[in-house]
Structures are given as structure tokens and as C-alpha cells.
Structure 1
Amino acid sequence: MKKTIALIFALFSTLLAQESSKPDLKKVIDAVSKKYAPDKRIEIFEVEFYDKDGNLILKGETTQKEAKDELLSQLKSTFNIIDSIVVLPSPELGDKIYGVISVSVANMRAKPAHQAELVNQILMGSNVKILKKHGYWYLVQTEPPENYIGWIEEGGLAIFNKAELEKWKNLKKVIFIDYFGFVYSQKDKNSIPVSDLSMGNVLGLEEKESDGKWVKVILPDKRTGYVDKNAVVELNRWRNAVNLNASNIINTAKKFVGFPYLWGGTSVRGFDCSGFTKIVFKMNGFELPRDADQQSKLGIEINPGENFENLKPGDLLFFGQKAEDGKPEKITHVGIYIGNKEFIHCSGKVSIDSFDPKAPNFNEYRYKTFIRAKRLIEK
């Protein structure tokens, strides 16, 4: 009896030792996620695990093949693994993994539902990578430097394979530079519209049917129509002409004074704070990342001085929660310095406020929550 008990105890101890020598699966997965997908807005690494008949089932998805490979490498010597981790884009999409936005402003949502949070907007003519499909929603990722991930309705997207995308890319393009407008079905502003337009939209150009007043354009989804020639500029010519300097940044920003705040907005339909700075810089040829904290990582940090005397017009100003009392710093707002202690930003609406307590437009809250300034342009 004693020998039996001793044998059972020895076996139990061996099994316990073997179990304790196995890595903590959650910690391993979390470590890989932190390494390859620290920012969930721009990368995906979602993996769960469970045991089935002595096998370790790994199930989930990731945008980083390297992350999956490293996870499997760390676990394969200890576990009998059944790998069900999908590397996005989903194989179910086949070769149709390229998209171009085909509506003036596509709303990107956190989940595939109309009631889900609006996290971003993407302008017509912008390229996206398609990651997977759910019903009539597509999970897409915008181009660098933004790389934002979210859900877009099928109706706002032209879906291509690589050859079809290259054909679209090779078309001569125009950029729409007015606030709002339309593509018309005929050379007549009273004709039925083909689509509305917003500042920054990019369309294909049909040169052979353009004249002194109208240009014929091609939308990414092959719809065609006519646009007022004065509202568009040939894209390459526009890119060569734009001059990223403080004066142009401020002049562009002031064009939007009074425009309303919209959480998740990055278009003239409505901005959030970082969407405002993003469109201002975009219309001057420079692409900013999507959110304020991401934008704060760019440029050279500037010591503002006791009275903001070291700041220059065009500097980006960042606001939020300062690191104190054991709490980490948290950037929650961004604006653009315009000189004389004044800055332009979008909070409620686009407005010009001041750091000067004596000024009528003094903003005490922003004064108290100012964290730092970053300089992206020197001219």
C-alpha cells in the first residue's frame, strides 16, 4: 500500500514538474503581440488557445506572418500544436485584396456595423489593402504612413486584383481642390449627379473628352462623368506645385474656421482634432498619421519657452494628461501654432484660441493641458 502511494506521489510530482516547465501560454502570446502589434490601430495579432485531445489549438488572425512564425517557434518544442492562425489578407479573398475608395468620403468603423464607432474617414481615390470580409463589410488597412485598420461598407470600395489596381494607378489623375462639389452625368450642373466630391478626392482623367469648362473623369468603380475644370488640378502638377511651409499651412488651416467637429472625421464633412491637422497638411503635400498621439511622434521637439517665444507658426501643439503621480502621459488633442501665442484647432468647431490670459480668445483649459510642441517644417 505504501509503495502504491509512493508511486502515485512520484508520478504526480513528475507530471507537476512537467506542467510547471511549460511556458505560460498567455504570457508568451502577450509578449509576441507586444513585440509585433503594440498598436492595435495599425496591426492585428489576436490569438486564443485551448486544449483538445492533448493537442494545443491556436486560433486567431494576424497581419504579421513573422509574429505567427515566432509564436509557433517558441511553442512547438513543448506542445503538439494544431495551427489555425490565419495570416491576413484572408485566403478567402483570393487575389482581390486591393481596394480603392470610390465614394467622396468612406466612413471607417471600429466594427462591421453602422452603429459602431467612427474611427476614420478615407477620401475617394485612396488605396487600401483588403484584409477580410464580413457580410457586406470589408476590413481594410490604409496606406503608409497612416496604416489604419477598420471596417468599410462594400458600396464605398472598388475591389481589384493586382493587375486591375495597376491599370487604375496608371491612369492620369486629377485632385479636387474645392470644398465640395459634384461629378455630373452631363456637362450641365442641372444634370443628375454621378457622385458628390470633397476636397482631396482623386479621380481618373479622360483627356479626350475634356474642354474649356469641363473635364471628363473616371471614378475607381468605373463610373464616369463631368467636373468643373476650375475645381480640379492635374495630380502630378499639383504635387510639384505644393510648397510645405508655415504660411501655406496656416492659410489652409484658416480656410476651415467654423467647420464642425466630428469624432473620427478627417474630411471637410467634419474633423476631429487630428483629422483637422491631417487634412491641412495633406492639402500641402504631407501625409500625417491618423491620431494625435501618433502625430506627436514626428518632428523635432521644441522648448516653447516661458511665454511661448520659441514657437514658430506651423508647429504642432499637443495637449492632454501630463505624466505625474504615477500616471503615464496621454496625448488627447493637437492644434497648429499660428504666432502671437495663438493656435488653430478643432474642438467643437475649428477656431483660433490663445495662450495669452489677457486675450479675449484665451483658452484656459488648453493652456493648462499643453504638453509639448513639435516642429515638422522649418520654412
Structure 2
Amino acid sequence: MKSNHILNLVLLTTLLFSCEKNENTEEVTNLIEAKRAEVAPDKRVALWDLNFENDSLKGETDQLEALQELIKEIEAQQIKFTDAVLRLPDAALGEKTKALVTISVANIRSNPKHSAELATQALMGTPLTVLKKDDGWYLVQTPDGYLSWVDRAGIHLMTEEELAHWFREPKVVFTALTGYVWKDENESEMVSDLVAGDILTVQDETKDKLKISLPDGREGWIAAREAQDWESWIASRSTTPEALITTAKQMMGTPYLWGGTSIKGVDCSGFTKTVFYLNGQIIPRDASQQINEGELVDADKDWSKLQVGDLLFFGVKGTEEKKERVVHVGMWIGNGEFIHSRGLVRISSFDPENPNYDEYELGRYLRTKRIVNVPSEHVLSVSSLLTNN
């Protein structure tokens, strides 16, 4: 009888402890999710991978201020726990928490392996924030906030001070659609290929050549006519109808590439992002992010309201059971036409009499937004790219 009593007591204690533990887990999980909704509703641009298990707060995040707020909220509930959260940038990186893209176009993937989905791209000279390392891959954040993985071979790791020094060096922007860096002025050996928008530092110049340095220290020569110094390039950027149309049409025929944001290949939102970048603005990466910017122009297929540069969005309309799905974007170029990347960069029209009539896109049209000359939280000036923030 005595042993049964002891056994029952142990079982009761275990049950009470388990109930308390479960209650703590549920309460902390609710706090985690509430904070996620506040600071990281879009996991593409904010990392908040936290969980509470066995009285331990685990996971990783780059939202350090929010993490401290969460910890205070847990402590206020008098819940004892172990803090096992990895704070990013990872301390294992040391001071090398910055990087520059060192190849013409860096492929940035959803996971740390070459077979992973291509999430986005970054051009040579683009500054990145480095968050952690996984073998030969680095989790980085691009200037538009996108979080993805890049191969070590495509970047040059730097400290804050080294990046600040690079910012101060004289620079040029490569303006031809494609080109090369040559080892010598005779163009006998290629150092690297280039695409429009790549950023290089200048070491010397002749009448028609520039001696430049790539972000990883490699040097070579380019034709002076194919580049423009950074300050004058920035000053000449404009989202006028003429500038947007010219840039967009220069990319006609560029092949569709999921995750692409360069002349080598673009997806639909990568195309609009590239057009605006080459004209001085950094806009969000994906169509489902771009649709949240600017002001609403049309949702009723009244094309008379549209202006050159307006972004048209397509997808599946929402219902009571399902959320709206934004899957495609194009840019209005006037005269009843828009330009977009589907298979290749092409021009389409909603006019049945136009040879470019696109019944397919007309059928899944959602609405049009305007970001040209409209203040928007996540639309930035390219001039902010080379500031030491």
C-alpha cells in the first residue's frame, strides 16, 4: 500500500509538472507568434525562426531588438527558461559581416546548395549584409532586404571598416548591356564578364580606356564609353516615361529565368525591378511585395487611368475561403500596351485589335499600382546603395 501511495504521488507530481510545462510552452509560443506578426510577417526579408521546447527558447533571428522585447515579456510571466537563440549576424563570422558581389551576376538561392531554387540575383559591387555561414555558403541580405544564400565564390567578405573604405573610392557604373573586363588594353585575355549596373572602382584612365578594380581586387581594363562615373550616373537617373520605356525595350527578348534580375535572364518581377534599378530606384523583389507599394490606380480595367511606369499585377482573386494570389507583374508603356517577362521579355496589349493582344493576362488581371513619384516605404533611391549604413 505504501509503495502504491508513493507511485501515485510521483505520477501526480509528474502530471502537474507536465501541465505547467505545457501551459508555459503554449504561452511562450503565443508570445513568439505575436512578435512574428509584428516584426517578421514576411520571412523573405526578416528572419524570426524561434520556438519554445523543453523550457528552452531556441532558433535564430536577425531581429535582435524584438528578441530582447520577447525575452522581457517571457520573464514578466515569471517563466524560467534557457536562452539558446542564435543571434544573427553569427558571432562565428567575427568582424566579416559585410560583403561585396565580385562576379557580374551572383545567383542567390533559397538554400545553401547549387540545386536549390534561384531566389534572386545581385550585381557586381552590390553591398550585402552577411548573417551566417554553412560550409561554402553564406546567408546574406541584399539592399532590398531579401534573405537568401550565396556561394562563397561570388562574394568578397569585408569588415565594416573595409566596406566604408571601398565606399570612398572613385567608382563607375557599367552602362552597356553586356561587356568584359580585359587583362590589358589589347584585350588579349578576359578577367570577367559584365552586365549593365555592375559597379567598379577606378584605378587609372587613358583617352578611351579605364583601368578598374573589381571588389575582390582583380584588375583590368574596360572601354571608357561603356561606363559612367557613379555621381553623374546617379544624377542622370530618371523615372520619366522616356527613360523607363527605353530601358524596358532594350531588354526585349531577354529570356525568362526564375529568380533572375539581370540582363542574363529575368522573371516577371525581376524585370520590373531591373528596369527601375537602372533608372535610379530600388523596388521590392517579388510581385507579391511590389503590389504593396505606391498608390492604387485601377482595379476595374479602365486603362485610361494608367500612366507609363505603372505596374500591372495579375493572379488569382481572393475569396472568402482563399487569399488572393499575386503571380505576375508588368509595366505599362502607353498606347494600350504593357511590357513584361513571360517566356521572354515581350509587349502585350488588352486591345483585341492589337497584334499583341493578350487574352490570357487580361483574364487574370488584378489591379494597377503607381510607384513613380509616389512616396513608398520600400521604394528606395539607388543612391542609398553606396552609403555606409
TM-score (norm 1): 0.91
For residues 168-247 of structure 1, the aligned pairs below 5 Å read 168-189=166-187, 191-206=188-203, 209-247=204-242
Quote the offset at 1:378 in angstroms.
Answer: 5.3
Check if 1:70 corresponds to 2:69: yes
The 1-side partners of 2:193 and 2:296 are apart by 40
Show the counterpart of 1:22: 24
Q: What SS does the corresponding residue of 1:79 show, helix, strand or coil?
A: coil
The 2-side partners of 1:93 and 1:22 are apart by 34
Q: Which moved more, 1:196-205 or 1:72-81?
A: 72-81
Contact 2:299-2:366 within 8 A present in 1 as well:
no
The 2-side partners of 1:23 and 1:286 are apart by 44
Show the counterpart of 2:140: 140
Q: Which amino acid aligns with 2:58?
A: K
The 2-side partners of 1:301 and 1:367 are apart by 18
The 1-side partners of 2:351 and 2:251 are apart by 23
Contact 2:25-2:52 within 8 A present in 1 as well:
no
C-alpha RMSD of matched pairs (Å) = 2.4
Quote the offset at 1:218 in angstroms.
Answer: 0.8
- Give the one of 286, 289, 309 matched to 2:304: 309
Quote the offset at 1:23 in angstroms.
Answer: 5.5
- Give the one of 45, 57, 61 matched to 1:42: 45
Inter-CA distance 378–155: structure 2 relative to 1 (3 Å threshold): closer
The 1-side partners of 2:21 and 2:82 are apart by 19
Show the counterpart of 1:89: 89
The 2-side partners of 1:187 and 1:13 are apart by 80
Check if 1:278 corresponds to 2:273: yes
Aligned length: 370
Contact 1:140-1:150 within 8 A present in 2 as well:
yes
Inter-CA distance 227–325: structure 2 relative to 1 (3 Å threshold): same
Q: Which moved more, 1:92-101 or 1:22-31?
A: 22-31
Quote the offset at 1:303 in angstroms.
Answer: 2.5
* 1:294-347 residue CA offsets vs partner (Å, 9 max, x unmatched): 111121111265541111122111111112242211211110111122110001
Contact 2:300-2:367 within 8 A present in 1 as well:
no
Q: What SS does the corresponding residue of 1:186 show, helix, strand or coil?
A: coil
* 1:67-96 residue CA offsets vs partner (Å, 9 max, x unmatched): 322332232344321111011000001111
* 1:189-217 residue CA offsets vs partner (Å, 9 max, x unmatched): 2x1111110110000011xx311111000
Quote the offset at 1:18 in angstroms.
Answer: 4.4
Contact 2:312-2:368 within 8 A present in 1 as well:
yes
Q: Which moved more, 1:321-330 or 1:123-132?
A: 321-330
Q: Percent identity?
A: 38
The 2-side partners of 1:232 and 1:295 are apart by 29
Q: Which moved more, 1:124-133 or 1:287-296?
A: 287-296
Inter-CA distance 180–7: structure 2 relative to 1 (3 Å threshold): closer
Show the counterpart of 1:253: 248
Inter-CA distance 9–91: structure 2 relative to 1 (3 Å threshold): closer
The 2-side partners of 1:168 and 1:220 are apart by 8
TM-score (norm 2): 0.89
For residues 46-65 of structure 1, the aligned pairs below 5 Å read 46-51=49-54, 56-65=55-64
The 2-side partners of 1:6 and 1:57 are apart by 29
Inter-CA distance 83–13: structure 2 relative to 1 (3 Å threshold): closer
Quote the offset at 1:21 in angstroms.
Answer: 5.2
Contact 2:25-2:53 within 8 A present in 1 as well:
no
Q: Which moved more, 1:264-273 or 1:154-163?
A: 154-163
Inter-CA distance 302–121: structure 2 relative to 1 (3 Å threshold): same
Show the counterpart of 1:109: 109
Q: Which amino acid aligns with 1:202?
A: I
Q: Which moved more, 1:368-377 or 1:22-31?
A: 22-31
Contact 1:304-1:311 within 8 A present in 2 as well:
no
Quote the offset at 1:228 in angstroms.
Answer: 0.7
The 1-side partners of 2:8 and 2:211 are apart by 89
Quote the offset at 1:247 in angstroms.
Answer: 1.7
